[in-house]
């Protein structure tokens, strides 16, 4: 949807290792988001970007960092993965800030052992 | 503090029935209310959205009812089918006066339509 590709789709990693998830979009949308989805918690915002090199924290940003060096790419990094970061991660884009829907990728399932 | 409360958490309905999912919000500055549908292994996809200047919006078998005074909105699925089995999320956001931080989501409703 909206040309959003997330990679990898699945990843298993060990506690304490760094992990980077990638989101690539082809729609030239200005706004990009990282959410995590967990049972009983729904979708929670981790970080978002409102332009190249412009990012801000969301609701659950501790332990995560992001970077956006190009309009089309938004990276999410777990500096030192913990078991509590086992989750499904979704990238989303939005054309405008007002009254504009989010378009989601198909997610990355991350397991931290 | 959860700004959008969604209920029920799960729902089982017989084929042809009308499942109803309810959401309530607190922030009166919200003025855009979309619903998303998510199938297993996929990302959420926009289903239907409403602005507070209308009380109801229909798209096919899906209807949003909106009650501005009560700060509530709901999704109805007419003539439900097994293929409607999915997780549904309500959401809300502010318009041009709001921030760039996307949508505030409810926690989701897992809907099963039994044949």
Q: Mind giving me the DSSP string for chain A?
A: -TTEEEE-SEEEE-TT--EEEEEEESS--SEEEEEEEETTTEEEEEEEEEETTEEEE-TT-TTEEEEEEETTEEEEEESS--GGG-EEEEEEEES-SSS---EE---EEEEE-
Partners of residue B99 in chain A, C-beta under 8 Å: 97
Partners of residue A106 in chain B, C-beta under 8 Å: 41-43
Pairing of strands B45-50, B30-38: antiparallel
A40/B32 Cβ within 8 A: no
Give A99's pLDDT tier (boundaries 50, 70, 90): confident
Phi (first) and psi of residue A83, to 5 degrees: -60, -30
The number of C-alpha atoms within 13 Å of A51 and in the hemisphere containing its C-beta is 1
pLDDT, average across residues A63-67: 97
Cα distances (Å, whole numbers) of residue A60 to A65, A76, A79, B44? 11, 13, 15, 19
B101/A45 Cβ within 8 A: yes
A31/B102 Cβ within 8 A: yes
pLDDT of residue B6: 97
Q: Which of A44, A99, A104 sits opposite B44 (nearest CB)?
A: A104
Give A61's pLDDT tier (boundaries 50, 70, 90): very high
pLDDT of residue B2: 56
pLDDT, average across residues A23-52: 94
Buried-state track B17-43, b at ≥16 Cβ within 10 A, e below 16:
eebbbbbbbeeeebbbbbbbbbeeebb
The number of C-alpha atoms within 13 Å of A10 and in the hemisphere containing its C-beta is 2
pLDDT of residue B29: 86
Give A40's pLDDT tier (boundaries 50, 70, 90): confident
Report whether A102 contacts B46 (CB < 8 A).
yes
Is pLDDT of A21 > 90? yes
B34/A1 Cβ within 8 A: no
Distance in angstroms between the alpha carbons of the first and the last residue of chain B: 38
pLDDT, average across residues A76-103: 92
B83 three-class SS: helix
pLDDT of residue A92: 95
Structure tokens at A26: 């082809």
Give A2's pLDDT tier (boundaries 50, 70, 90): low
B100/A101 Cβ within 8 A: no
User: Which stretches in chain B have pLDDT values below 70?
Assistant: 1-2, 95-101
pLDDT of residue B100: 64
To the nearest whole number, what is the mean pLDDT of chain A?
Answer: 94
B68 three-class SS: coil
Choosing among B42, B92, B99, B100, which should be mutated to test the A contact, i.e. which has the most A CBs within 10 A? B100
């Amino acid at each position: 949807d909206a040309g959003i590709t997330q990679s990898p789709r699945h990843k298993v990693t060990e506690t304490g290792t760094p992990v980077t998830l990638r989101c690539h979009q082809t729609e030239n949308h200005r706004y990009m988001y990282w959410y995590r989805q967990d049972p009983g918690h729904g979708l929670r915002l981790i970080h978002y970007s409102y332009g190249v090199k412009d990012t801000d924290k969301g609701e659950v940003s501790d332990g995560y960092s992001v970077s956006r060096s190009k309009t089309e790419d938004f990276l999410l990094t777990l500096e030192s993965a913990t078991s509590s970061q086992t989750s499904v991660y979704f990238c989303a884009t939005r054309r405008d800030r007002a009254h504009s829907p989010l378009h989601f990728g198909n997610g990355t399932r991350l397991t931290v052992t | 503090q959860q700004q959008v409360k969604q209920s029920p958490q799960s729902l089982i309905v017989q084929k042809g029935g009308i499942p109803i999912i309810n959401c309530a919000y607190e922030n009166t500055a919200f003025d855009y209310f979309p619903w998303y549908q998510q199938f297993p292994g996929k990302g959420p996809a926009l289903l239907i959205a409403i602005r507070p200047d209308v009380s109801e919006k229909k798209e096919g078998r899906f209807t949003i009812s909106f009650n501005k005074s009560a700060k509530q909105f709901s999704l109805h699925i007419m003539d439900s089918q097994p293929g409607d089995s999915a997780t549904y999320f309500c959401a809300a956001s502010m318009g041009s006066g709001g921030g760039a931080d996307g949508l505030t989501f409810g926690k989701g409703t897992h809907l099963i339509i039994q044949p």
